[in-house]
Amino acid sequence: MKAKQQIMSPHDVVILLKIVSYGEQQWLQKPLAEAVGISQSEISKSLHRSKYAGFLAPDGKTVMIMALMEFLQFGLRYVFPQKPGPVVRGLPTSHSAKPLSDVIQSSEAYVWPFGKGTVRGHSILPLYPSVPEAVLKDEKLYELLALTDALRVGRARERELAIKELNKRLELGE
């Protein structure tokens, strides 16, 4: 019998951050799938991969925050790299979205391409195509994913600020 290699997918990060956004609130797979616009079967596979990788506790419900933060900080930009693309209309991300937009002044906006977006900027492909729709329903998730994008595409200063903000939101201190 051949063992199948377990490889993380970009949407695994989206799902883990959505679970984090629930805080202490209990969650179920079906509403989670609806909230992030990912099929329930993909949610199930993702949770399995995340458990295998050590991002979820053996109970499959608790995110291992330290492991997730370590991956976001040191691995994300290498595993799921992204370079700014052409100027399009979309939703602000990275340093162009809150909370970093409160601290960083830039004439260069980064956006997730999205037809209903209101900002023009360099396109940053989201970790999963449904991200723009999902973040409109969840401000916490929006902040977490925008900070995550700052780790993927930001310069040293943006990454440093994003790490501080993520540590606050993940309740790891500074």
Phi/psi for 9 (5° steps) reads -115, 155
- Give the residue from 152, 63, 149, 74 showing the smallest Cα distance to 112: 149
Instruction: Please give the sequence-ordered ranges of beta strands (E in DSSP) within 33-129, or none if there are none.
Output: 87-92, 110-113, 119-123
- How high is the pLDDT of residue 57? 96
Task: Give mean pLDDT in consecutive 10-residue pieces for the chain, a chain of 174 residues.
Answer: 81 98 94 97 96 94 96 96 96 96 92 95 97 96 98 95 95 64
Residue 1 has a pLDDT of 59
The CA distances from residue 98 to 70, 92, 150, 165, 169, in Å, are 22, 9, 11, 10, 13
Q: How many CA atoms lie within 13 A of 90 on its CB side?
A: 28
Domains and CATH numbers, the chain: 10-79 (1.10.10), 87-169 (no CATH)
Q: Dihedrals φ, ψ of 110, to 5°? A: -115, 135
What's the longest Cα–Cα distance across the chain?
Answer: 56
Q: State how far the Cα of 158 lies from the Cα of 173, in Å rounded to an integer.
A: 18
Is the backbone peptide bond immediately before 10 cis, with ω within 30 degrees of 0? no
